[in-house]
Chains A and B, each alone.
Chain A
Amino acid sequence: MKGETFNATAARNTFFEHLPSNHRTFPGWRLVPFLVAALVLVPVGTVISSLFTPSGEIWQHLVETTLPALLVNTFWLVFGVVMGTAVIGVSLAWFTAVCEFPGRKFFSWALLLPLAIPAYVTAFVALGLFDYTGPVQTGLREWLGSDVSWFPDMRGRASVIIVMILAFYPYVYLLARNAFLTQGRRTLEAAQSLGFNRTQGFFKLALPMGRPWIAGGVMLVVMETLADFGTVSVFNYDTFTTAIYKAWYALFSLPAASQLASLLIMIVFAVMVLEQQFRSRMRYAENRQSARAARVPLTGWRAWLVCCFASAVLFFAFMLPVTQLTVWATSVFAQDFNGRYLEFLWHSLLLSSIAALLTCSVTLLVVYAARRYPDPLTRTAVRISTIGYALPGAVLAVGIFIPIAWLDSRVSEMALQLFDIETGLIIQGTLFTMLIAYMTRFLAVSHSPIDSAMQRITKSIDEAATSLGLNGWAMLRRIHLPILKGGIYTAAALVFVDVMKEMPITLMTRPFGWDTLAVRIFEMTSEGAWEQAALPAVALVLAGLVPIVLFIRQTER
């Protein structure tokens, strides 16, 4: 008996000694997060380096005039959008993941559809419909025969907030639902067995337990809101981003714009660090798929209330905009549609899929490496690699463009000196630049889902795989990838749709002739031709639905 115990200990010892040597087989892992962080730091650093260029005069002007109001505007916008997306996203996630009500199956995937509509499109549709000259108010005026001054101001703060909530809630919904699906029902039962009712169980347990996922979604929403320029400018609602663009486009000072943007990054980074610190030692991962636990059947008026709520969100966030877009698009179809739309569509699809592939692969590497080396330095590197999302797209685009152009110049100079050949620009103006830019921006989007999926792989799974002779790539391919599949699909679908909707980076870094649907929307909207913009917008929404539907089919099984 004693001998046996001894042997077991000895075996375990050799096993653990064995592990590091496995790691040594590919020391490159250690570097991955740092390389990616460095890549992201290039544009971010370019932007932050502006802090050394004095532009006090513009700052002084902004502080004295518009900045205070912009900060107040930005605060309320972020606050409102965060509250709204959190309430709508979390509640819908809870109802579809844990409860049972009429249409639950339908809503559980349909509520993701608004992801396909860019926020600026929802914005101009909302204005087109509900503004003073829109059909709703015009109709009301004709019907009532009076001025409908009681109608809420469509270009006020509330409208911007509502539009952004409708556009961004799916981020929170998607991630929160993930959390609730794995642990919601079981948690609820545990709470009930301890004398809490379901409502208490939700607020006291499920909600705090889902926090990392909810926080992940909300963080995306915060960054998206802070970086947004398209939506707020449709409403002419001035935010911090407005100041950035004003400094750049109107006051011709890119340095001042970059300085403002640096401030934005630093704020977001601080919030990220604080959130992580606050979580500290707590662990949220529920590794086991919870055992049988029934859905909570909602009955009577509750069921219908939830059904109505979900329908209303879906209606305003998806059906209404799409219907209006389709009506507009039909009116200009005959005149505007031509073969080039196929080209735009093809470019959009191709760019989005390559970017999704690239971004998810890199995220996977980063997350994987960070898991193997969970030291604070690596964790910081990982956090840095997700900061690109907080920058307004155009600022990030410049941040990428400047160093790449610089690199290109050095290369061509060298080529000229050494071989006496004119190389011109090698990197810039290629898809490579564009993809790197997309990746820098959307690493944050793919990080959350892949990282939380990774948390589900326990150490023992690794050890089991190692004991079966798997390690390195084989382990990633045969064990981890299948487990991570769900997270990867989520990430890929999100990045795909985001790239499809993305405008400033696409505009600035696209090679000649690489016009996409988003570029088309830009050209139309920049001339205020909303109805003509509807045609590419509808195409964009339809194309964006493809990955979402694929993703749903993969995960809803």
Chain B
Amino acid sequence: MNALLELKNVRHAYGKQPVVKDLSLTLTKGDIGCLLGPSGCGKTTVLRCIAGFESISAGEILLNGKQVSNPQFSLPPEQRHIGMVFQDYALFPHLTVAANIGFGLHRMQKTEAAARVAELLQTVGLADSSSRFPHELSGGQQQRVALARALAPRPDLLLLDEPFSNLDVSLRERLSLEIRDILKSQNATAILVTHDQDEAFAIADEIGVMHHGEIQQYDTAYNLYHKPANRFVANFIGKGVFLSGTVLDSHHVEIELGTLAGEIPHQCGQDCRVCSPGHSVAVLVRPDDIVHDDDSPIRATVLHKAFRGADILYTLRLPGGSTALSLVPSHHNHAIGEKIGIRLEADHVVAFSQSDEQQ
């Protein structure tokens, strides 16, 4: 594996307030990584440290195996060969689209640069807007100009800072897929920072969920959803509720709705107190873990419903008083207050010790 980017125990503080604590990360060439987390978790700061706009107070950052940042030294941003797409795009309002894209090509020959600009205009689908000014473009077009501008000098690494946050939802979905294609077609290595998991899932190969300046879990989208490392990740990724349960043995946990069987908490290590029988745990139940079954003896009351086209997301009160979510095909239309039959249908268990609730 040739690691393009390595962060080793990176720490960054604004004054005395640590924003990034002991963060490590490795990105392979050609991969698209993502830092996902709520606002204020320090993800943008990590990006700015990688870009060289912020210095670090501990640890080191390596690019292509060469150290670019350590507490004593920071290679100037312009010498890192890192491209960046800013949250507000930072397009140059006094330059045309073509001039914006070609701006970073100052070391290339004129004809070569023109060819590169033309190629990128083609790639981002703005070939006929090359002589327009940024303020004459729509938000999505501006976003693509920003991307093309960052890609033009063929940076070793591309950083995208919440690149879609200024766009509307439908555009965001379409563009994020488009951009993944563009990045892959250019064989670019990139890190995306976002608070939107759909964006992260659509673009990234691997995602690091950040909270309080630390990476909680660095994994594929599938694993984040199905095998969250801790309660925070479980809560942050996807929907679901925690129901309390009791460990029966290393393969079974019992909750109000029945017994869940599966590989018991994969996150438990060797000395796992959580998995000992009789221990009380919090079990993650996703909406798709509970199915509608009129024949089921378990009846739950409909508290809320959200129509989603193909299916309806019901919020239910369980007989024991706790609430749960259930995703039901939309032809099962029930009124609020109605009692419906439900059944547990899950082949895995995600459980955490009750005690790490504060996470």
A residues apposed to B, CB below 8 Å: 186-187, 189-198, 200-201, 205, 208-209, 211, 281-286, 288, 290-294
Contact = CB atoms under 8 A, between A and B. Distances in A.
B74 to A, nearest CB: 11
A181 to B, nearest CB: 15
B93 A189 contact: no
Contacts of A293: 53
A189 B54 contact: no
Contacts of B51: 189, 192-193
Contact of A194 (B76, B104, B133, B134): B104
Interface of B: 44, 51-54, 76-79, 81-84, 86-88, 90, 92-94, 103-104, 106-107, 133-135, 149-150, 153, 159
Most buried by A among B83, B93, B149: B93
B104 A195 contact: yes
Contacts of B86: 186, 189-190, 291
A282 B93 CA distance: 7
Contact of B94 (A200, A211, A290, A294): A211
Contacts of B134: 283
Nearest to A209: B94
Nearest to A205: B92
A208 B100 CA distance: 13
Contacts of B90: 186-187, 189-190, 290
Given A209-B92, A286-B93, A294-B53, A193 B133 contact: no
SS class of chain B's interface: helix, strand, loop or mixed? Answer: loop
Contacts of A187: 90, 92
Given A283-B135, A294-B54, A192 B93 contact: no
A549 to B, nearest CB: 29
Nearest to A185: B53
Contact of A283 (B76, B81, B94): B94
A282 B94 contact: yes
B4 to A, nearest CB: 17
B92 A194 contact: no
A192 B51 CA distance: 9
A144 to B, nearest CB: 49
A200 B107 CA distance: 13
A197 B94 contact: no
A189 B78 contact: no
A194 B92 CA distance: 12
A295 B273 CA distance: 49
Contacts of B84: 189-190, 193
25 contacts: A187-B90, A187-B92, A189-B77, A190-B84, A190-B92, A191-B78, A192-B53, A193-B77, A193-B78, A193-B83, A193-B84, A193-B150, A193-B159, A194-B78, A195-B79, A195-B81, A195-B106, A197-B76, A197-B78, A208-B94, A283-B134, A284-B93, A288-B88, A292-B44, A293-B53
Nearest to B134: A283
A194 B153 contact: yes
A351 to B, nearest CB: 40
Contacts of A190: 84, 86, 90, 92
Contact of A195 (B53, B54, B78): B78
Contacts of A286: 93
A283 B94 CA distance: 6
Contact of B77 (A192, A283, A291): A192
A194 B76 CA distance: 12
A293 B103 CA distance: 21
Contact of A196 (B53, B106, B135, B159): B106
B106 A186 contact: no
Contacts of A205: 92
A194 B54 contact: no
B107 A195 contact: yes
Given A194-B153, A291-B87, 20 more contacts: A187-B90, A190-B86, A190-B92, A193-B51, A193-B77, A193-B78, A193-B82, A193-B84, A193-B150, A194-B78, A194-B103, A194-B149, A195-B81, A209-B93, A283-B93, A283-B133, A283-B135, A284-B93, A288-B88, A294-B54
